[in-house]
Structure 1
Amino acid sequence: MLYMVHMVVNIPATVSPAEADEIKRREKAYSQDLQRAGKWRHLWRVVGEYANVSIFDVASNDELHTLLSGLPLFPYMQIKVTPLANHPSSIVQE
């Protein structure tokens, strides 16, 4: 199942720069592992925001929730999930 996920990050000022850097390092490693596994299919930065739009390809809502809640930045994110379906006019069908 494909999902479009919009993530907005807001790390509070109470998190030290060193701690924020460590969280971001773990976030990068985790997200890259999911990309290599084919679960996180696309990742785009939203211009002018500390945010991204991503496409996930997972088996279920529960799997997506597990992956998202495992993100090191998860406690500092606002996340909007949109399930996707094939469009009949698309020349590429997933």
Structure 2
Amino acid sequence: MLYLVHMIVRIPDTVAAERADALKADEKAMAQRLQREGKWRHLWRVAGEYANYSVFDVAGNDELHQLLSALPLFPFMQISVTPLAQHPSAIAPN
């Protein structure tokens, strides 16, 4: 199943810079691993914001929740999820 996921990251000022940098590095490593595995199909930055739009290709709601909640920056994210379905007029496969 495909999901469009919008993530907005808000790390509070109370988090030490070193800790925030470590979380960001861990997040990058996990995101790249999930992309190599084919589960995180697209990752697009929102210009001017600490946010992204991503497309995940996972078995279902439970797997998506498991992946998102395991992200190192998850505690600092506002996330919205939209399930996607193939459009009948689309000529490219999903």
TM-score category (smaller protein): over 0.9
Residue 3 (structure 1) aligns with: 3
Gaps of 5+ in 2: none
Residue 53 (structure 1) aligns with: 53
Matches within 5 A, 1:20-39: 20-39=20-39
Residue 75 (structure 1) aligns with: 75
Whole-Å separation in 1 of the counterparts to 2:3 and 2:20: 27
Whole-Å separation in 2 of the counterparts to 1:6 and 1:29: 19
% identity of equivalent residues: 69
Amino acid at match of 1:92: A
Shift of 1:48: 1.0
Gaps of 5+ in 1: none
Q: How many residues get paired?
A: 94
- Normalization by structure 1: what TM-score? 0.99
Q: Following superposition, which runs of at least 4 residues in structure 1 exceed 3 angstroms of deviation?
A: none
Q: Does 1:87 align with 2:87?
A: yes
Amino acid at match of 2:44: W
Q: Equivalent residue of 1:56, what SS?
A: strand
Shift of 1:93: 2.1
